[in-house]
Amino acid sequence: MTTRDLHTLTLTEARSALDRGQFSAVELVDALLGRIEALNPALNAFVTVTAEEARAAARAADERRAAGRPLLLDGLPIVHKDIFCTQGVRTTCGSRMLEDFVAPYDATVVARLRDAGAVMLGKSNMDEFAMGSSNETSFFGAVANPWNHACSPGGSSGGSSALVAGRLAPAATGTDTGGSIRQPAALTGTVGLKPTYGRVSRYGMIAFASSLDQAGVITRSVEDAALLLTAMAGFDERDSTSIDEPVPDYAAALDGDVSGLRVGIVQQHFDAGLDAATGDAVRAALGVLESRGAILKDVDLPNIDLSVPTYYVVAPAEASSNLSRFDGVRFGHRAADPEDLLDLYCRSRGEGFGAEVKRRILTGTYVLSAGYYDAYYLKAQRVRALIAEDFRRAFGQVDVIAGPTAPTPAFELGAKTDDPITMYLNDIYTIGANLAGLPGLSVPCGFVDGQPVGLHLVAGHFAEQTLLNAAHSYQQASDWHTACPEAYA
């Protein structure tokens, strides 16, 4: 294999090749940095590239491997969504508010992957403060989908999904509050994994909606997602929502055997809102699982249609609280020459935040205000509990719930920016897992009009192994995940 081909490798393939000495970590990193320099201008997938830091980390990985002391991920390149704090490297959240913020510490996700030997190539573009489904709300500009530059790569982890699909890096971290890993994965033909709430630490991950946010990964194979989850997961005493649950070796346990696996089909997910061709691709994928021994069974989630309105009460309410810290006083953007403290607050926040973030702050403040708290916020929390109970009952009958990840393939940039409600409906099939705190995964399952679509799988709490194995079994029988945009092959 020549260095010109190194970008084609998955994490797992690169790890095996490094162990065999086919190339060095420095050669792998240099090859990808060259691609980033040449191809990122068209994608706009990166906010920051950390070339020198990456080369230094790669040299250290080569030294450990030469000494016979390789780490789990030694020398493997990854990119972090720009919502994770990285010591000495700016963390912007895609916002003018944090355009020049340099974190004094690493997020736990960053630290654990670094301690396992992973090499950070840079920070990926994203919707501002993770609020968006198209990566168009970023202060640094929209990200293009490598399958069609006129289309969105999804959001909010659109930079991560685009750079993995375009082979600028084999993997990237992301965050998922209502589908922000899985929806962009579906729209770019990549694998997107959101673990159980509390499975991966949120320490150092700048908060949007604290009861919904969860860190995860975007990769090209399920095996790679399992490998990264093994390194990322685990209890963290610095995160009060972290759960002390043993972490298995997810990758080692993959066997692809789905004989007898009960797969639940939610008929509400195949209604009139689903693009017909996308539905056909998902049904064909379900047929593949059935042919490998899985048992398909209809399940009912009677309250799932209320997930979008519930989410858009709960999430903005939490955002209005979390983003109150950005006031122009302690850190972040500060307005010039304020007349007084109130003027400082108003202009700093007015200048620092974009339109979508302001919309959600205002919505959240409204639903939490006196006279509306009971009518909106408490009612939404009650419906959230009903949705979680629906899932609990369903998992008494099945092991995995399956359906489409997104209602359509990738849409054109600008097509939905003037209609927030239509934009919000892109997450209609993924939000339920966040409201219930369940693990979810999107795996490529076909193309519609030349654009990828995804199969969405959800499992019970801490059943990531079941989820990963079902998706891995599907990938063993299909090759959609190996497809690459022609311009990035």
**CA-CA distance, 410 to 403, in Å (whole number)?**
17
Above 90 in pLDDT, residue 271?
no
416 is catalytic: no
Question: What are the two backbone dihedrals, phi and then psi, of residue 456, each rounded to the nearest 5 degrees?
Answer: -105, 130
Any idea where the domains of the chain sit in the sequence? 3-240+252-258+441-488
pLDDT exceeds cutoff 80 at 3: no
pLDDT at 350 over 80: yes
pLDDT band at 267, cuts 50/70/90?
confident
pLDDT 10s digits, 358-400: 999 999 999 999 889 999 999 999 999 999 999 999 999 999 9
pTM for the whole structure: 0.97
Percent of the chain residues past pLDDT 70, beyond the cut: 100
The better pLDDT of the pair 68, 425 is held by: 68
Write b or e for each residue in 296-330: b if 16 or more Cβ atoms lie within 10 A of its Cβ, otherwise e. Answer: beebebebbebbbebbbbbbbbbbbbbbeebbbee
**Which position among 24, 95, 133, 156 bears the catalytic label?**
156
β-bridge pairing 46-49 and 119-124: antiparallel
Residue 166 pLDDT: 98
Distance CA 411, CA 329 (A): 39
pLDDT value for 428: 94
Nearest to 78 by CA among 164, 199, 193, 156: 164
| pLDDT of residue 1 exceeding 70 | no
156 an active-site residue? yes
Tokens 């700093």, residue?
A: 348
Angle CA(93)–CA(212)–CA(311) in degrees, nearest 5?
100
User: Do 219 and 472 meet the contact criterion of CB atoms below 8 Å apart?
Assistant: no
Q: What does the pLDDT average to over 50-59?
A: 98
The CATH topology of domain 3-240+252-258+441-488 is Amidase signature (AS) enzymes (3.90.1300)
Catalytic hit among 157, 180, 221, 348? 180
351 pLDDT tier (thresholds 50, 70, 90): very high
Helix, strand or coil, per DSSP, at residue 436: helix
Q: Is 180 a catalytic residue?
A: yes
Name the band, by pLDDT with cuts 50, 70 and 90, for residue 314.
very high
- Predicted local confidence at residue 332, as pLDDT: 92
User: Which of 24, 81, 123, 348 is an active site residue?
Assistant: 81
How high does pLDDT run on average in the chain? 97
DSSP 8-class letter at 9: -
Band of residue 478 on the pLDDT scale cut at 50, 70, 90: very high
pLDDT at 272: 78
Percent of the chain whose predicted confidence (pLDDT) is above 90 = 96
pLDDT computed for residue 313 by the predictor: 97
pLDDT at 4: 80
- Helix (H) or strand (E) holding 108, with range, is helix 108-115
Contact between residue 232 and residue 215 where contact means Cβ atoms under 8 Å apart = yes
pLDDT of residue 422: 87
Confidence at 421, pLDDT banded by 50, 70, 90: confident
**Residue 53: what are its φ and ψ, rounded to 5°?**
-60, -40
Instruction: Kindly state the average pLDDT of the residues 117-136.
Output: 98
Widest distance between CA atoms in the chain: 70
List, for residues 231-258, the tens digit of each pLDDT value: 999 999 999 999 999 999 999 999 999 9
Tell me which residue of 426, 423, 20, 430 sits closest to 214, measured CA to CA. 430
pLDDT at position 335 is 96
